[in-house]
Structure 1
Amino acid sequence: MSEATLERLNANFRKQAKYPTKVIQFGEGNFLRAFVDWQIQQMNNQGLFNGGVKVVQPIDKGMTKMLDEQDDLYTVLLEGKLAGKKVQSHEVVESINGTVRPYEDFQSYLDLAKDDNIQFIFSNTTEAGISYDANDKLTDQPQNSYPGKLTALLYERFKLGKKGFQIIPCELINHNGNTLKKIILQYAADWNLGQGFIDWINQENDFYATLVDRIVPGYPRDRAADLEQEWGYRDSLMVKAEPFLIFVIEGDQKLKQLLPLKDAGINVVVTDDMQPYRNRKVSLLNGPHTTMSPIARLAGIDTVGKVMNDKDFYKFVNDEMYQEIIPTVQLPQAELETYAEGVKERFENPFVNHELASIALNSISKFQARLLPTFKRYVAKNNKLPQRITLALAAYLKIYAGKADFEPSDTPEILAAFDKIKGATDYVQLALQNDAFWGEDLTKYAGLEAQVNRDLTVLDQAGARQAVQNINAGGEV
């Protein structure tokens, strides 16, 4: 069947009736559609939620019209490994039941406040989305910032005398719910909306902090035409995701009943403190990425998948997880080990071509955020250096000294600072003690400078693979 004869995905493909709108969602991008909307679909499939989503396009340009052209339907393609088993599946997601474009019809946006069925507000407006814009005014139609738009909607809801919302942002910033609430209260004060509204925000609305985790590569451009032939319909908004998902939500336990994700088999955690889970992800997923990137690239390996298919590097990454990272994270060991095994499956995903060069972007700030906390906890606990993280540090210093077959990719300020010192005889000392790189002087850690110099000697003379093999054998680099 030719592409021209395929029917575009439309309401004829629906298996469920449209449910009443229970969710307002700010954002229509790949991640929310493969994460939040997919989860709502799973609850609806099992009759646990019976609610739909009204999607608000948070910026002037977006994809809501494309959604409407497909009667708000699209396909989620899951590919990868989960619990040791290969997963390849697809599902038409029906949870979106309409879209709103505030830049075209602001009144339709405010009218969402009238709907008593709506209980939840989700968002993913990028990390920069939860920000304060001093130029926003209540009279704007619409406000520029997401918190400004949300404040206007909440004020409309308040004036109608209706109940508040469960507000669950998914932007990738720490304390996202608290930050969003703080900005909304700032607008309430700036716009002189009154103490009654402020009290209503505080008493009638719940703001949750979240940690979201699912790799969503997005539209599978290279295979889309073949997939459409296989499925028998055209879909301009198909989105590919890994099977793995975890949704950590910090806040009132009542959310378990209001939003029965766990009952639908979703990997969700509602907790009073999400920081250990954040530390777990940053340490056990982002940390090994940041460790493997410089060392494997120096050994001529270019993707995460190839790292995991290499006997030497697989052992190196596995041992980093179990010997250097897991003992430093304050969560039950069994839970950490289960997560680590899941991370390794994700790293091995044959359907995701994750290039180490992309991980290497802005490596110095990533080392500070993703590896240095583990390094410090390990040193404090064991009174010795973590060998693998230390080797990664040495590998970065080799690359930033201009001694690799590829160039480092970082901010102009970082690159300029390295250019000033990379030819110095005391290069390692100058680099380690630069708190602009690491947030502190790393030469204060006993033995670190000497070990980095030894690691660099091996990297220069024997190569990265030999350095890895030395550690794998249980010895010094």
Structure 2
Amino acid sequence: MSHPLSRTTHPHLPSYPERVIQFGGGNFMRAFVNWQLQQMNRQGLFQGSAVVVQPTERGLGDLMTRQDCLYTVLLNGIFQNRTVNSQEIITTVSRVINPYTHYEDYLALAEDDGLEFITSNTTEAGIAYHAGDCRGDQPPASFPAKLTALLFRRFELRKKGFVIIPCELIDRNGEKLHQLIEQYAREWQLGEAFVTWLREENTFCCSLVDRIVPGYPRGRDQELEHELGYTDELMVTAEPYLLWVIEGPEWLSERLPLDQTGLNVIFTDDMTPYRERKVHLLNGPHTAMVPLGLLAGLETVEEVMQDECFSRFVKEIMEKELAPMLNFPLEDVLAYASDIQERFRNPYIRHELRSISLNSISKFKARLLPILLRYQQEKGILPPLICLSFAALLLSYRGDRIPRQDLPEVNDVFDEAWSRPSSFVTTILRKESLWGADLTKIPGLIQTIEADIRQLDQSGSRAALQIMK
């Protein structure tokens, strides 16, 4: 019987001083940020680790602690015309702090001069204002409020600030996080000197991340246990492809030399073009396929791409509705779209639609709603495939066919709206708290979504797609 992965079973693995505070220890961060830190360490460029702050009360902290914060990243796929099938034990997480049970340990991070960087991935819904957060909460509920408390402690200690690089997939993530921290600073009456310190002593970077990370290799765990010689409940699979675009000052690449490792990391003074192309052409189709695929009983992205009906949907939504709305030469965008479809077909990784469905409402708002609005404004008609996916998403949040994975307050809004089915569409489209605008003002959207929901409810998503053929 194999032993669990730990420093007892692997005593010769290196340890590194803490240089990064990382909010979130989920699959993506462990296969993206921590994996990249490891590549820098291997080349002698960084020599640092991350202390993970658990952003929610329940998380992976206990499990990570049992494994001494070690875990395996499995890279599987085709990259630069060669097959990649690698396994690597990652050693760049030092420890996990749960601020819900050890709040003073969390605030004590402010005392460490060696900590220079803060990064995060708390999902698209994580960088948001929470009206109930107060200065005395231990901890506050929202990520921005938690970070405000930590930064204020750092300020009180008269220490230098941080380089802050959020990874959440929202536009201008660094700027929005900075704005929310200043909002809490003013509400909590932390003083103008603190606000000045935030602006002058800290560097808030906007960033864009791209790597498909399916997560734990379900179905292969026993095979891998035999192959690796140990058990690892934190194993995470990822594709070899990676992109990290970081908008920041010129000196940043010297302090965080990711681009010197040969990784696909871009430091720039304007990440806007990169973001629009990636969010709308990679994340957009992911979000679009999920509710339609789940309603049809499909489980993975690969199953979607192997299904003629659904793969045609993915191809057409990318080429006919998404690509024409981007500010890139169409030929270049279509080539990028073709590459993405090849990544979706990666047979080496199991990317479950259920895992992509987490917080789907905020994902639709960030990834597909801007294209829907732009398409309607420019063409005077609604994009039919985006609308069908939108209808499937709203139908899935009825909760009777597909388990919802969203914030309780979002689910509550849908429960209330679905309690009156005849007015559901009007009620839900009017919720500015969900969409950032009253969508009932978009010409024809109510009628289109109502018709699509009826079609999906009566005939299913496959039949609805076949009708649109």
TM norm structure 1? 0.75
Q: Which residue in the other structure is 1:202 paired with?
A: 199
**Amino acid of the residue matched to residue 249 of structure 1?**
I
Quote the Cα distance in structure 2 between the aligned partners of 1:307 and 1:29: 25
Decide whether the 8 Å contact of 1:133 with 1:144 is kept in 2. no
Percent of matched pairs sharing the same residue: 46
Q: What CA deviation, in whole Å up to 9, does each residue of 1:403-440 have, x standing for no partner? A: xxx799893455456x4279xxxxxxx98xx7679814
Q: Which residue in the other structure is 1:57 paired with?
A: 54
Q: Which residue in the other structure is 1:136 paired with?
A: 134
Q: Which residue in the other structure is 1:41 paired with?
A: 38
Q: What CA deviation, in whole Å up to 9, does each residue of 1:282-314 have, x standing for no partner? A: 421344345556777898866532332245654
Instruction: Give the SS at the match of 1:10.
Output: coil
**Amino acid of the residue matched to residue 265 of structure 1?**
G
Q: What CA deviation, in whole Å up to 9, does each residue of 1:131-163 have, x standing for no partner? A: 44545335x555554334433332332233322
Q: Which residue in the other structure is 2:255 paired with?
A: 258
Q: Which residue in the other structure is 1:420 paired with?
A: 422
- Mean Cα deviation higher: 128-137 or 50-59: 128-137
Instruction: Give the SS at the match of 1:13.
Output: coil
Decide whether the 8 Å contact of 1:26 with 1:56 is kept in 2. yes
- Mean Cα deviation higher: 367-376 or 146-155: 367-376
Quote the Cα distance in structure 2 between the aligned partners of 1:61 and 1:358: 17
Quote the Cα distance in structure 2 between the aligned partners of 1:66 and 1:86: 32
Instruction: Give the SS at the match of 2:195.
Output: helix
- Mean Cα deviation higher: 39-48 or 320-329: 320-329
**Amino acid of the residue matched to residue 261 of structure 2?**
A
Q: Paired residue for 2:18, among 17, 21, 25?
A: 21
Q: Which residue in the other structure is 1:425 paired with?
A: none
Decide whether the 8 Å contact of 1:299 with 1:463 is kept in 2. no
Q: Which residue in the other structure is 1:189 paired with?
A: 186
Q: Which residue in the other structure is 1:153 paired with?
A: 150
Q: Which residue in the other structure is 2:277 paired with?
A: 280
Q: What CA deviation, in whole Å up to 9, does each residue of 1:368-419 have, x standing for no partner? A: 764454355446556777675577679899x89x9xxx799893455456x4
**Amino acid of the residue matched to residue 309 of structure 1?**
Q
Measured after TM superposition, the shift of residue 204 of structure 1 is 0.4
Total equivalences in the alignment: 447
- Mean Cα deviation higher: 435-444 or 273-282: 435-444
Measured after TM superposition, the shift of residue 185 of structure 1 is 2.4
Quote the Cα distance in structure 1 between the aligned partners of 2:359 and 2:154: 43
Q: Which residue in the other structure is 2:408 paired with?
A: none
Decide whether the 8 Å contact of 2:154 with 2:161 is kept in 1. yes
Measured after TM superposition, the shift of residue 101 of structure 1 is 4.3
Measured after TM superposition, the shift of residue 230 of structure 1 is 0.8
The gaps in structure 2 that reach 5 residues or longer are: 405-410
TM norm structure 2? 0.76
Q: What CA deviation, in whole Å up to 9, does each residue of 1:90-121 have, x standing for no partner? A: 21001122344445554443443333222101
Q: Report 1:192-231 matches (<5 A).
A: 192-231=189-228
Q: Which residue in the other structure is 1:426 paired with?
A: none
Q: Which residue in the other structure is 1:95 paired with?
A: 92
Measured after TM superposition, the shift of residue 252 of structure 1 is 2.9
Q: What CA deviation, in whole Å up to 9, does each residue of 1:164-221 have, x standing for no partner? A: 1001223344443233323332343344433322211110001123333333333334
Change (3 A) 1:275 1:171: same
Instruction: Give the SS at the match of 1:270.
Output: strand
Q: Which residue in the other structure is 2:7 paired with?
A: 10
**Amino acid of the residue matched to residue 182 of structure 1?**
Q
Decide whether the 8 Å contact of 2:110 with 2:150 is kept in 1. yes
Q: Which residue in the other structure is 1:439 paired with?
A: 439
Quote the Cα distance in structure 1 between the aligned partners of 2:153 and 2:55: 18
Q: Which residue in the other structure is 1:125 paired with?
A: 122
Decide whether the 8 Å contact of 2:294 with 2:402 is kept in 1. no
Q: Report 1:336-415 matches (<5 A).
A: 336-353=333-350, 370-371=367-368, 373-378=370-375, 389=386, 411-412=414-415, 415=418
CA RMSD between the two structures: 4.4
Decide whether the 8 Å contact of 2:163 with 2:204 is kept in 1. yes
Change (3 A) 1:225 1:147: same
Measured after TM superposition, the shift of residue 68 of structure 1 is 3.2
Q: Which residue in the other structure is 1:307 paired with?
A: 304
Q: Which residue in the other structure is 2:326 paired with?
A: 329
Q: What CA deviation, in whole Å up to 9, does each residue of 1:292-351 have, x standing for no partner? A: 567778988665323322456545533442343223201355653454234212321334
Decide whether the 8 Å contact of 2:217 with 2:236 is kept in 1. yes
Measured after TM superposition, the shift of residue 441 of structure 1 is 4.7
Instruction: Give the SS at the match of 1:67.
Output: helix
**Amino acid of the residue matched to residue 137 of structure 1?**
R
**Amino acid of the residue matched to residue 46 of structure 1?**
Q
Quote the Cα distance in structure 2 between the aligned partners of 1:274 and 1:175: 9
Change (3 A) 1:11 1:36: farther
Change (3 A) 1:181 1:227: same
Q: Which residue in the other structure is 1:165 paired with?
A: 162
Q: Which residue in the other structure is 1:68 paired with?
A: 65
Quote the Cα distance in structure 1 between the aligned partners of 2:298 and 2:464: 11
Quote the Cα distance in structure 1 between the aligned partners of 2:135 and 2:127: 17
The gaps in structure 1 that reach 5 residues or longer are: 423-429, 472-477
Quote the Cα distance in structure 1 between the aligned partners of 2:382 and 2:183: 45
Decide whether the 8 Å contact of 2:135 with 2:149 is kept in 1. no
Q: Which residue in the other structure is 2:244 paired with?
A: 247
Instruction: Give the SS at the match of 1:185.
Output: helix
